Amino acid sequence: MDEDQKTLRLKEVVREKAGLFLTYESNRQSLITVTDVMMSPDKKRAMILVTVLPTHKEEAAMDFLKRKRSEFRNFLMKETRVGHIPRIDFAIDLGEKNRQRIDEISNLS
């Protein structure tokens, strides 16, 4: 089923604002990149997918992101005109991580 324009726009706003928020809040110990946003069908929950470089800093980055969830939600309330701000969570983008690993293996040949 295709996502409607409203859902796509909400995902894009959350993705854009998450990147901006991380630029302000990150301690620069690792590079945290927002790769995608997955929205629940009722738009009440948003899972923000990220990649972390260097990869050995993933656990620390995820701890940081989990601590900052409510601050990010408040940031979204201030910075957007979205009526209902979804509950936010963060996760490592395993699909992107696997794609990068395949690229590494391909380059070895």
pLDDT digits (tens, 9 = 90+) for 51-109: 999 999 999 999 999 999 999 999 999 999 888 899 999 999 998 777 777 877 888 76
Q: For 55-89, b where at least 16 C-beta lie within 10 A, e where not — what string?
A: eeebeebbebbeebeeebeebbeeeeeeeebbebe
Of the candidates 15, 72, 79, the residue with the CA atom closest to the CA atom of residue 49:
15
Q: Is 0.75 topped by the overall pTM?
A: yes
Question: How many other CB atoms sit within 10 Å of the CB of residue 20?
Answer: 13
Q: What is the CATH number of the domain that holds 77?
A: 3.30.300.20
Q: Which domain holds residue 85?
A: 5-108
Structural domain count of the chain:
1
